[in-house]
Structure 1
Amino acid sequence: MGIVELSVLKWAHIIAMVYWLGGEWGVFQISFNVVNRNLSMDERKRHLETAYRIDILARTGILLLFPLGFHMGNIWGVQPYGGGWLVAVWAIFIGWLILCWTAFYFRETDRGVMLTKVDEKLRYILIPVIAICAISTLLGYGPFLGVEGMRWFSVKILMFSVLLCIGLYLRFVMRQWTAIFRKLAEKQDDALEAELESSIRISRYLAYFYWIIIAGVGFIGATKPF
């Protein structure tokens, strides 16, 4: 049963990784049309809507990666928290996923903006917790196993926390898109257009770094070098 369970978890982990990476690439490409002033506002809004529909799959993938990895880590023996711990982690992340999809459903409303802010605040808790756990383990204090041949798990989690930080910034950008487009729908404003272009330009450079780390996380998970 353990072998079958691990195989299914690996499959789900790969699917989540593909949706995460592919979704981010899709949003990246669509952003060029979102800021294109030569397009009509209606067309730009359609591209923004497409970006949101793609991004929700990337968000789903990234939220599933942690419980999947945590679960596999217990089977591999690199982290000792099984049983009730696994149930709690899965419950937390499934609840978080429901929140994420609810925010997506109401994305064009004040309720959607509010739910998105709640989603962001949850990251303020998760990111420090997993980063501290990873660093503490690498320093030899636990809570995961930090012996030779098992440190890759903590390194991977630490890199994942960095990716969550970048992802949090990109969430800010997409929320900003919504706010700016609501104002641009009322009247043309060159200052808002410049703000939109500036935020997306910075995000594009950050996206390259994002993909490099994602590739690194995948490599460490596949080779387990530490």
Structure 2
Amino acid sequence: MDIGLSLLTLLHILIPVYWLGGDLGAFYGSRFMVDPKRSVAERMMALKILNNIDMAPRTTLILAFPTGFGLAVAKGWLDLSASWAILAGVLGLAWLALAWAVHLKHGPQGQAFKRFDILVRYIVLAGLAAAVILGLSGQIALPLFITLKMLALGACITLGLVVRRQLVPLFPAIVQMRESGPTPETDRVIAAVNGRARISVLTIWVLVLIACFLGIATPL
């Protein structure tokens, strides 16, 4: 039995488990944040819990490609040396460290990390798009299910960037609610932003489930 391959397979299987589980927790917690019947302290606590739980799907999104890529190389689906899988793993861990720095750091330094993280996401998205186009056109040898999984991952990254833009109006409303109490206007903004973001998050759930099916069906 190949322990290394088994552990890598287990890690890749756990990706959608923690992705969807974390998203479900954040999805449920957002109900308390938008509930005008809750006190400001309760709503702020819900926001803090939501923000921390959300690091589970953010972490698994980053780990999805290096674990899947390493698995594809190990199983011979991709005709590449193990050094490429190791490189993908190292780069993935570096990106993961950056994402956690964004979460933990605040102030000017945190903003710098955030801008760099967004740049990395656009670079990864461009790489995935190029691989999908080359794979579908037959210019590089990629199994169909891997090409489609990369397409789903790229769509998830895109929707993640969309969610960030959708959340922009939320922060001034949260600050105003925290400093001077809730108003009908702040409640309206918070509820509207949450409603738009939920559509994007639900779409991500569908994409993750599709990627899971492709990984099981492996339609070459």
The residue aligned with 1:32 is 31
Query: 1:178 deviation in Å?
Result: 4.2
One-letter identity of the residue aligned with 1:209 = T
What's the TM-score once normalised by structure 1's chain length? 0.87
TM-superposition CA deviations, 1:76-112 (whole Å, max 9, x none)? 22223334322321221111111111121135x4543
1:89–1:19 distance in 2 versus 1, CA, 3 Å: same
In 2, are the aligned partners of 1:135 and 1:158 still within 8 Å (CA)?
A: no
CA distance in 2, matches of 1:163, 1:111: 27
The residue aligned with 2:17 is 18
TM-superposition CA deviations, 1:146-183 (whole Å, max 9, x none)? 3xxx2211111111111111122234445654453223
Give identity over the alignment, percent.
Answer: 25
In 2, are the aligned partners of 1:71 and 1:82 still within 8 Å (CA)?
A: no
Query: 1:15 deviation in Å?
Result: 1.6
Q: Out of 203, 206, 214, which is 1:212 matched to? A: 206
TM-superposition CA deviations, 1:26-84 (whole Å, max 9, x none)? 11111111111221111111000100111111111111111000101111222233343
In 1, are the aligned partners of 2:23 and 2:54 still within 8 Å (CA)?
A: yes
1:27–1:114 distance in 2 versus 1, CA, 3 Å: farther
1:106–1:176 distance in 2 versus 1, CA, 3 Å: farther
1:67–1:105 distance in 2 versus 1, CA, 3 Å: same
One-letter identity of the residue aligned with 2:30 = S
Provide the alpha-carbon RMSD of the alignment: 2.1
Q: Out of 135, 159, 163, which is 1:166 matched to? A: 159
1:79–1:65 distance in 2 versus 1, CA, 3 Å: same
Q: Is 1:82 the counterpart of 2:76 in the alignment?
A: no
Q: Is 1:221 the counterpart of 2:199 in the alignment?
A: no
CA distance in 2, matches of 1:31, 1:202: 12
TM-superposition CA deviations, 1:182-220 (whole Å, max 9, x none)? 233222454343222211101112222221111110000
CA distance in 1, matches of 2:100, 2:208: 23
Q: Identify which range, 131-140 or 190-199, moves more after superposition.
A: 190-199
Q: Is 1:180 the counterpart of 2:173 in the alignment?
A: yes
Number of residues of Structure 1 aligned to a counterpart in Structure 2: 219
Q: Structure 2: any 5+ residue segments left out of the alignment?
A: none
SS in 2 for 1:185: helix
In 1, are the aligned partners of 2:167 and 2:197 still within 8 Å (CA)?
A: no
Q: Is 1:194 the counterpart of 2:193 in the alignment?
A: no
Query: 1:114 deviation in Å?
Result: 4.0
CA distance in 1, matches of 2:21, 2:197: 16
Q: Out of 134, 141, 152, which is 2:132 matched to? A: 134
Q: Out of 107, 118, 137, which is 2:116 matched to? A: 118
CA distance in 1, matches of 2:209, 2:129: 19
Q: Structure 1: any 5+ residue segments left out of the alignment?
A: none
In 2, are the aligned partners of 1:30 and 1:51 still within 8 Å (CA)?
A: yes
More contact order relative to length (CA 8 Å, sep ≥ 6): 2
One-letter identity of the residue aligned with 1:121 = L
In 1, are the aligned partners of 2:170 and 2:189 still within 8 Å (CA)?
A: no
Query: 1:117 deviation in Å?
Result: 3.3
Q: Identify which range, 10-19 or 44-53, moves more after superposition.
A: 10-19
What's the TM-score once normalised by structure 2's chain length? 0.89
In 2, are the aligned partners of 1:156 and 1:220 still within 8 Å (CA)?
A: yes
CA distance in 2, matches of 1:175, 1:115: 17
